Amino acid sequence: RRLAETALCPEDVRAAQACLGATTAQLGSGWRVRPFGSISNGFATHSSDLDATCCRDPAAAAGARQPDSDSHTMLEDMVSALQEHPQFQIVEEVKAARIPILRMKFAPRAGLTLDVDLSFQNTEPLPNTQLLRAYSALCPRVRDLGILVKLWAKASGV
């Protein structure tokens, strides 16, 4: 029962989908926003954040900045674009990390806020997310175990 209390509700899922759509729309054509982590792999709880990475679409317009551009420069471009959107609030720019992260809050409506960690060209976690999603799809107990481990780690400060 307690596990069920932590589960994502449909409103959480809609908020994540709305955030991905708004991010893609705000960044413009030529961008793909790909979620990863617990919201994508099935181990999310009601308090989970949304982890996503922005990738240049290989078929992007010829005049667009190329995917091998400096990730710090691209982070600045993302900040400029996303600050213009009324549902996004930039909380922190983590520039010193190996992969720069833009921490934001997304508010699709009053009273509902989703924490978002947005990176650029960070495709490394995508295969792991797919693998964990496949495991959780095989058996609901795998998903439950993953969530229990996640909750235990959070409660233990791990």
- What pLDDT digit, counting tens, does each position of 57-105 carry? 777 644 554 545 667 777 787 888 898 899 999 999 998 888 899 999 9
Residue 111 banded pLDDT, cuts 50, 70, 90 = confident
Closest by CA position to 154, among listed 4, 36, 46, 8: 46
Token pair recorded at residue 70: 């400096």
**C-alpha closest to that of 46 among 16, 22, 17, 91:** 16
Under DSSP, the state recorded for 116 is: E
Tokens representing residue 73 in the block: 């420069």
Predicted TM-score (pTM) of this structure:
0.86
Give backbone dihedrals phi and psi of 22, rounded to 5 degrees, phi first.
Answer: -65, -40
